[in-house]
Amino acid sequence: MPDLREIVEVLLLQNYNTRLVVLSTTLLGIAAGLVGSFLLLRKRSLMGDALSHATLPGVAIAFAVMVALGGTGKSLPGLLLGATLSGIAGVATMLLIRHTTRLRDDVAMGFVLSVFFGVGVASLRMVQSMPGASAAGLESFIYGKTASMVHADFLIISIVAGLSSLACLIFLKEFLLLCFDDGFAASQGWPTLFLDILLLTLVTAVTVIGLQSVGLILVIAFLITPPTAARFWTQRLVPMLFIAAFIGGASGWLGASLSALTPQLPAGAVIVIVAAILFLISMLFAPVRGAIPRAVRQIRLRRKVDRQHLLRAAYEILEVQARDGVVRNEPFPLADLLGKRSWTPLQLRRILKIARREDHLETAAPGTIRLSESGFGEASRATRNHRLWETYLIQYADIAPSHVDRDADMVEHILGAKLVSQLETYLSDHDLALPVPPSPHPLAPASTK
Amino acid sequence: MNWTGFDTWIVVIGALCAAACALPGCFLVLRKMSMMGDAISHAVLPGLAIAFLITGTRASVAMFLGAAIAGVLTALFTQWITRFGNVDRGAAMGIVFTTLFAIGLLLIRQAADHVDLDPGCVLYGAIELTPLDTIALGGFDIPRAALVNGIVLLLNLVIIGLLYKELKLSSFDPDLADTLGYSSEFLHYLLMTMVAVTTVAAFESVGSIIVIAMLIVPPATALLLTHDLFKMLIIAVVAAVLAAVTGHLGALVVPGWLGFESTTTSGMIALAAGLIFTLAWLFSPYEGILTRRFREGVREPDSLSANTNTKAS
């Protein structure tokens, strides 16, 4: 178990051995978070997956060419160049399929992934039998190990990660347009194909350096997980980019540090799991689009809707009961409520409980209910909103009075004060002297029994 | 070229496996889930690791079960994240399979001292070795892989045969399927289970490359050639079998042409499938690139071909 001093040392990059690894995974996480955000918005998240598989034939061919020229074949720049070129060929194939057939992105990606990977495996086996060079370990040479990073690798990673992050920021507006409405972008004269290719070139660059330094699975996860997690925290693109970069960087930093402290854990896997945990937290708890806050909002809204339905039903019952045109707050039988809406007795009991907690009901004789003072006020307000909206729909939307009830039912709960006063001005020639205008359609009898 | 009984078995196994994958693959392609095969083939790693840690052997039944469960879980988690998180399905898939793969790596590393379980050998099962592993059946020695893939093919045929109408409906209009009383959710999970079992059975015996390629490429080829689901299934199976046969032939012949010694059959099968797709892409009667060009040359371009023109440029 490492002690506190060691932990702090690794996290603050003071440990020479782990500094490079932690720094480069952090940088890579930031770059991949930025580039991946655009992929996510273009619904092409799995592009990194397809691309990383598509680099394999390039590696094999570059190896064969270098051996044929008399080298050992294991020169990193040469292999990276081969990987990049074949990645670009993969992207080109994908775009060509996309633009000349009606096959969709996922099929194009799957095609490139499987066929290029198959070609790669086949050609790798072929070049392994070349005389004069041993290709053993060629795959792990290119699909590297994080722990064995040297200074030169670090330089490559930081330069490429820095440049692609910069490019993302420079072309922010153009990429944004491309992501949200490429048809509009094309009609406004933007070179969408060029922008698409530029974006995919950035993805290729990040994927290739990531492959070499941290491994295949990690690159795929880096391009997908942080942007998807960031999407839960905001509805706007620019904040999303920064959050994605932050989450990517944080998972690279934490994951690499964690794996440096416990030598038997492979860095790539730990980073993926840290990113996945950050994703899970975002998915569940992020206030804007997280699952739990969203569910809470939905439950609140449903309760409000139920309560307002209950109060309006009660008001309409009182209205029918009223003898001289004045609606008074008096107790009425519980059974009347059941007839007003399609409530089951169980549902009604639950809604009554909510209303009681809100202080809308007073204690009354068993079998009857009575609204409280605030409940009665709320009930007349809910009914008034409903009637206003109904009248508006009849007047301006030409909806038949017999059909207007359902339509108003769906909207009345979200009528704000501003909208209500607007409705009042629109409908001011109707008799609004009454606190609650009369129903524009006949009310159903209070009880079906 | 030196054709032996081995080669015959390899071609038969390849064809069985290719056909078994192409059938559910058609539905995956139609449902925009082509990458599921790749996702599952990575995501089964923790299933394999846990099955190994529990049983302590590499007995194939336990490993198969573990992998199949992990495969179904991949589909399940993907669906949950898509639904509850309101996330694009591709992204959900990517998150699930990378995370499961990472967990699998950690599990393997934890038991690394006494485990001979290499993620590489899981992903690169070798079709060339399948004829060696035989079981006696009714007096014949049949390769286990042929039996496994044959059974899977039969199962897929039966399921698709029985539920053809329902699968078709829920692939094109899940809402209509639901309102008519065919649970599109049940059909989705059934299809995913089918894909998971097919994938695991196939790559355990012949390697993941063939599986991933055969789930996507033959159905994509078929989609270029027809607009009818039934024809699509048939064309996909034919293309898959053709790819298996020509792929193995290519593996025997092509390295000699290029001056190399040997290559892998699975890689060449994927390449053959890609070439068949390219042929369809160029010459498809509906939308082949060359067909369209030829047609436009023959008659005056009408508004429809003008449209496709702008799309292509």
> CB-CB: which of A45, A111, A231 is closest to B277?
A111
Contact B287 A101 (CB under 8 A): yes
Please state, in angstroms and rounded to a whole number, the distance separating the CA atoms of residues B308 and A110. Answer: 24
Q: Which residues of B touch A259 (CB under 8 A)?
A: none
**How far does the CA of residue A437 sit from the closest CA of chain B (Å)?**
40
Q: Say what the pLDDT of residue A64 is.
A: 85
Structure confidence by residue, pLDDT tens digits, B258-302: 777 778 888 899 999 999 999 999 988 877 888 888 877 765 545
Q: Which residues of A touch B212 (CB under 8 A)?
A: 110, 113-114, 117
- Return the beta strands (E) in A233-359 as ranges: 332-333
Contact A225 B98 (CB under 8 A): yes
**Does residue A183 carry a pLDDT above 50?**
yes
Contact B102 A107 (CB under 8 A): no
Q: Say what the pLDDT of residue A208 is.
A: 85
ipTM of the complex: 0.87
Provide the mean pLDDT of chain A.
83
| Strand B140-143 to B134-137 pairing | antiparallel
**How far does the CA of residue A314 sit from the closest CA of chain B (Å)?**
35
Q: Say what the pLDDT of residue A406 is.
A: 76
Structure confidence by residue, pLDDT tens digits, A363-377: 777 778 888 888 888
Please state, in angstroms and rounded to a whole number, the distance separating the CA atoms of residues B282 and A107. Answer: 17
Q: Which residues of A touch B217 (CB under 8 A)?
A: 110-111, 114-115
Q: Say what the pLDDT of residue A382 is.
A: 85
From A183, which residue of chain B is nearest by alpha-carbon distance?
B311
Q: Say what the pLDDT of residue A449 is.
A: 37
**CA A83, A84, A87 angle in degrees (round to 5)?**
85
Contact B274 A117 (CB under 8 A): no
User: Quick one: which H or E segment has residue A361?
Assistant: strand A361-362
> Both tokens of residue A90?
């993969």
Q: Say what the pLDDT of residue A432 is.
A: 52
pLDDT band at A411 (very low <50, low <70, confident <90, very high): confident
Considering the entire predicted model, what is its pTM?
0.83
> CB-CB: which of A45, A100, A291 is closest to B94?
A45
Most confident of A33-47, A140-154, A415-429, B126-140: A33-47
Please state, in angstroms and rounded to a whole number, the distance separating the CA atoms of residues A283 and B85. Answer: 6
CA neighbours closer than 13 Å in the CB half-sphere of residue A213: 31
> In terms of Cα–Cα distance, which of A133, A119, A158 is closest to A21?
A158
Please state, in angstroms and rounded to a whole number, the distance separating the CA atoms of residues B173 and B280. Answer: 27
Residues 6 or more apart from B109 whose CB is under 8 A from it?
Answer: A264, A265, A266, A269
Structure confidence by residue, pLDDT tens digits, A52-109: 889 889 988 888 888 888 777 667 778 888 888 999 999 899 989 988 888 888 899 9
Mean pLDDT, rounded, for A179-195: 87
Domains of chain B: 5-303 (1.10.3470.10)
Contact A239, A267 (CB under 8 A): no
* Ranges of chain B whose pLDDT falls below 70: 1, 57-59, 111-125, 298-313
Structure confidence by residue, pLDDT tens digits, B101-111: 889 888 887 76
Of A11-20, A223-232, B40-49, the range with the lowest mean pLDDT is: A11-20
pLDDT band at A447 (very low <50, low <70, confident <90, very high): very low
> In terms of Cα–Cα distance, which of B38, B207, B17 is closest to B124?
B207
Contact A270 B106 (CB under 8 A): yes
Q: Say what the pLDDT of residue B58 is.
A: 66
| Strand A332-333 to A368-371 pairing | antiparallel
Long-range contacts of A360-369 (CB under 8 A, 24+ apart): A360/A307, A360/A311, A364/A331, A365/A331, A367/A333, A367/A334, A367/A335, A368/A331, A368/A332, A368/A333, A368/A334, A369/A314, A369/A331, A369/A332, A369/A334, A369/A337
Please state, in angstroms and rounded to a whole number, the distance separating the CA atoms of residues B219 and B212. Answer: 12
Three-class HEC string of B251-288: HHHHHHHHCCCCCCHHHHHHHHHHHHHHHHHHHCCCCC
From A99, which residue of chain B is nearest by alpha-carbon distance?
B312
**Does residue A448 carry a pLDDT above 50?**
no
> Both tokens of residue A165?
């992050």
SS3 B97: helix
From B33, which residue of chain A is nearest by alpha-carbon distance?
A106
Domains of chain A: 4-289 (1.10.3470.10), 296-426 (1.10.10.10)
Please state, in angstroms and rounded to a whole number, the distance separating the CA atoms of residues A74 and A138. Answer: 8
Structure confidence by residue, pLDDT tens digits, A164-177: 999 999 999 888 88
Contact A114 B209 (CB under 8 A): yes
Residues 6 or more apart from B204 whose CB is under 8 A from it?
Answer: B60, B63, B64, B67, B125, B148
Contact B212 A100 (CB under 8 A): no
Please state, in angstroms and rounded to a whole number, the distance separating the CA atoms of residues B269 and B262. Answer: 14
Mean pLDDT, rounded, for A134-159: 67
Contact A206, A161 (CB under 8 A): yes
Q: What DSSP state is assigned to residue B113?
A: G
Residue type at position B71: G
Number of Cβ within 10 Å of residue A162's Cβ equals 13
> Both tokens of residue A58?
């390039």
> In terms of Cα–Cα distance, which of B90, B49, B103, B97 is closest to B73?
B97
Q: Say what the pLDDT of residue B118 is.
A: 53
The residue with greater pLDDT, A6 or A53, is A53
Burial of A428 (0-12, 13-18, 19+ CB in 10 A): exposed
